[in-house]
Amino acid sequence: MKLIEPDIAALSTAKSLLLTPYGLTEDDLGHALGEIFQHKVNYADLYFQYTRFESWNLEEGIVKSGSFGIDQGVGVRAVCGERQAFSYSDEISVAALRAAAQATRSIAAQGAGRARVGAHAAKGRSRGLYVKTDPLGSLDSTAKVQLLEKIEQMARQRDPRVRQVMASLTGEYDVVLIARSDGVLAADVRPLVRLSLSVIVEQGGRREQGSAGGGGRYDYAAFTDEVLAGYSAEAVDEALINLEARPAPAGPTTVVLGPGWPGILLHEAIGHGLEGDFNRKGSSAFAGRVGQRVAAPDITIVDDGTLPQRRGSLNMDDEGNATQCTVLIENGILKGYMQDTLNARLMKTAVTGNGRRESYAHLPMPRMTNTYMLNGQRDPAEIIASVEDGLYAVNFGGGQVDITNGKFVFSTTEAYRIEKGKITYPVKGATLVGNGPDVLTHVSMIGNDMRLDGGVGTCGKDGQSVPVGLGQPTLRVDGLTVGGTGDH
């Protein structure tokens, strides 16, 4: 096996957890790949993974539940043309690896498929986008409980109308090792933590909810008193604002999207449509449009997996390819798509380091990392002042998107009415309805305040979930349909 500018520390950790304890050597990995190549295939890889994870949950002032677990295993894949054969085992041993390789070879010979077996860095520089320590050990159990109790107390002290506080703390230590048929051996050690807070306030028999939180690829030490105070203020203030909210107006409206988390609309309505597999199959609204204008002239959108410590960042993707900053749309022109190895080869384009999978038991596919729109030139206050009658959407909850046509529906959790260039009062019940590619052409003003989200995003696709990041500056979108219960 050849190492291309490897991360020696990560490789040493991965071998110590995933190979040495089970009597496996690099020669065994080569033999397993050779087993697969007894049938004609284009490519094959082995994906070993070790994950330790924990979750602590507080409700009614008490940490009522906690969980801890370890998961490990190996996935074996063979690629022939457009077809992929895949098998996996949650047992790591010479015998299990050989059985998985034989099963994959058998599937490849028959066509394509997926099976479970067993009893139970490509080109690019070595990176250090995040620490390689285990975040679960950065605080003891008592300190983790105290951290949740502290943020609960801060939220209650924020306002006497707070009736209920729920908080959770999660951590993950993920180690992956990838061996490829082209001779590359790559490894990564990935920490990930997240703190989430939700509060319920009550006044005059009316109850409203607010939420906040964040995280990234670091350890629990990042959750300082200052950070906890910020989360508690954000959650409580959002809930209190909603106590005063009036019904949202309905109909075609000028909408100003706030910076940061409102980029979830960009992620869902546009980002997924720029993933390579949807475009290779012609099922995306952006298929076949590279080189064409798809957005307003000032819009540039990138997917960047190289941002230090961000939730969506990776030193390498789950195929051993270095992540990068990929320009998807530049000044309104579609430049390309996010690609994994399979789709890049079939579309005769470059790999972008976007091959991601939920675990060793899943096949990789093109997925986003941190997807965001770059800054424009406008002051956010100027954008608000330009709107005669409209909606200012600051925060979003859930939404739905149809990738084939880009149609979406998103609900706001914090929004305000704009009248004569001023923010006047909060509204609730507002949903934004539109078409992602169409919205890109109706952005008339772009702010200079680009912000990334706090580090809470999890993206789902084809039954697989992976951590992601997103962001955008303040945007003015003309003629967006708002669903609501009030008069416009």
Tens digit of each residue's pLDDT (9 = 90 or more) over 63-97: 988 899 999 999 999 998 898 999 999 999 999 99
The distance from CA 242 to its chain's CA centroid, rounded to whole angstroms, is 27
What is the structure's pLDDT at 406?
79
Residue 299, number of CB atoms within 10 A of its CB: 24
- Reported confidence tier of residue 121, pLDDT bands at 50, 70, 90: very low
User: Which pair of tokens denotes residue 202?
Assistant: 């009550």
* Alpha carbon separation from 118 to 14, 94, 189, 411, 467 (Å, rounded): 21, 11, 25, 45, 28
Which residues touch 209 (CB under 8 Å, ≥6 apart)?
198, 199, 200, 201, 239, 242
Which residues touch 153 (CB under 8 Å, ≥6 apart)?
none
Cα torsion 132, 134, 138, 144: sign: positive
Mark out the alpha helices in 19-116 (DSSP H runs): 26-36, 94-110
**Nearest-angstrom CA–CA distance, 18 and 72:** 8
pLDDT in tens, 162-211: 999 999 999 999 999 999 999 999 999 999 999 999 999 999 999 999 99
- Reported confidence tier of residue 106, pLDDT bands at 50, 70, 90: confident
Answer whether residue 302 shows pLDDT above 50.
yes
What is the structure's pLDDT at 404?
78
**Nearest-angstrom CA–CA distance, 480 and 262:** 15
- Reported confidence tier of residue 486, pLDDT bands at 50, 70, 90: low
What is the structure's pLDDT at 7?
75
3-class DSSP assignment, residue 254: strand
- Reported confidence tier of residue 111, pLDDT bands at 50, 70, 90: low
pLDDT in tens, 306-319: 999 999 999 999 99
